């Protein structure tokens, strides 16, 4: 969801007790001092945003978004602010949930150290510079909770190498460390112990251009030795992934996995079979359509999908099973792919007319 999508989402459904419960669990919201949840600092040549909820994996909530967005716009207009650095407090996570859309026109550097899911992806992947470390963990696990990979997932996932993005979206497969860089999700890889030095060097730049910033990042990236010779975790499977996930329907993808019969194929089949059938079909179409759309067009599409999902069954049930009751046993409706009709699918993508996302 984009920033304005979060506001609209919250205001439109704030009368629903069930939805409020879901929102609380999705953002891991607690009654804490909002002023301390995000740190906004002007350092050197940069504006520095620190997500400051380490106990809750730096998950975003609405109050944080309401602080971040105005400050981004101020820094964007400030001639003395040449770049924006976004990072998460603590060692575990950059950001593990919630949503915001990067809309800053100045060079934007996301230090995606630790867990990067949900809103963390939205905060980082659309920016020009994304720095991973050996502790980075990336995933788009939304089909497991009856949702879809939003935050512009329909834009960046189909643009990854081959059909990798389709595989990540439908299975929720986790990438770790240097694999986040190799997959194309991060633009640079830096040893975590060097992040502090990197930030200091960036802050010390004098009226830097994008090229100056890129040079600093490239220097640190080149010097990084951790897992330098390690092959991509999916390298040996990429040819098959490209073949399996080239199918135009989820049913065909499943048939491809069944026919292959290898242990890796059957493992992915087992995972996919646990996902919401509706989410699987929505997600495949989202990526197929998103592959030829602009980012604003994708965000408009995803806003429509979000409104349909919140009004349906599977999102509520998925959050209940995974995040609230934690029984890990969602009861999807429809329960299988055959029962998800073309009409159901089309309804998720229909225009909302005057209620459509506006830029």
b/e burial code for range 140-154 (CB count within 10 A of at least 16 → b): bbbbbbbbbbbbbbb
142 part of the active site: yes
Contacts of residue 352, defined as CB under 8 A and 6 or more positions apart, other chains included, come to 303, 304, 307
Residues 181 and 129: their CA atoms lie apart, in Å, by 11
Kindly tell me the burial class for residue 40, based on how many C-beta atoms sit within 10 Å of its own C-beta (0-12, 13-18, 19 or more).
middle
Out of 119, 122, 290, 312, which one is annotated catalytic? 119
Out of 44, 47, 97, 98, which one is annotated catalytic? 98
Residues 359 and 46: their CA atoms lie apart, in Å, by 27
Beta bridge partners of 83: 46
Residues 173 and 157: their CA atoms lie apart, in Å, by 13
Cβ–Cβ under 8 Å, residues 32 and 59: no
Out of 142, 179, 199, 317, which one is annotated catalytic? 142
Cβ–Cβ under 8 Å, residues 227 and 177: yes
Task: Find tokens 């995606």 and name the residue.
Answer: 112
Tokens of 255: 């048939």
The residues carrying an active-site annotation are 98, 119, 142, 150
């Amino acid at each position: 969801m984009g920033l304005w999508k979060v506001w609209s989402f919250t205001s439109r459904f704030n009368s629903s007790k069930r939805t409020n419960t879901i929102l609380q669990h999705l953002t891991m919201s607690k009654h804490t001092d909002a002023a301390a949840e995000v740190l906004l600092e002007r350092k050197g040549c940069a504006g520095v945003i620190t997500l400051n909820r380490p106990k809750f994996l730096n998950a975003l909530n609405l109050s944080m978004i309401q602080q971040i967005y105005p400050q981004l716009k101020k820094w964007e207009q400030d001639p003395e602010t040449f770049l924006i650095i976004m990072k998460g407090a603590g060692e575990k996570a950059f950001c593990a949930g919630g949503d915001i859309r990067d809309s800053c026109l100045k060079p934007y550097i996301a230090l995606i150290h630790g867990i990067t899911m949900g809103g963390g992806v939205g905060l980082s992947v659309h920016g020009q510079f994304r720095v991973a470390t050996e502790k980075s963990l990336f995933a788009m696990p939304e089909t497991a909770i009856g949702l879809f990979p939003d935050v512009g997932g329909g834009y960046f996932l189909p643009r990854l190498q081959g059909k990798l993005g389709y595989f990540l979206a439908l299975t929720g497969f986790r990438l770790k460390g240097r694999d986040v860089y190799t997959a194309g999700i991060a633009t640079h890889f830096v040893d975590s112990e060097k992040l502090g030095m990197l930030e200091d060097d960036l802050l010390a730049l004098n009226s830097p251009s994008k090229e100056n910033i890129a040079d600093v990042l490239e220097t640190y990236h080149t010097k990084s030795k951790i897992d330098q010779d390690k092959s991509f975790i999916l390298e040996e499977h990429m040819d098959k992934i490209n073949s399996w996930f080239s199918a135009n329907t989820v049913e065909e993808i499943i048939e491809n996995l069944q026919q292959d019969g290898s242990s890796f194929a059957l493992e992915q089949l087992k995972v996919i079979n646990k996902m919401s059938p509706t989410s699987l079909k929505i997600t495949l179409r989202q990526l197929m359509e998103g592959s030829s759309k602009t980012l604003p067009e994708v965000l408009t599409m995803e806003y429509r999908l979000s409104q349909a999902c919140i009004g349906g069954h599977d999102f509520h049930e998925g959050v209940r099973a995974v995040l609230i009751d934690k029984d890990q046993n969602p009861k999807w409706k429809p329960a299988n792919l055959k029962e998800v009709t073309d009409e159901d699918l089309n309804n998720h993508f229909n225009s909302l007319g005057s209620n459509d996302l506006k830029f």
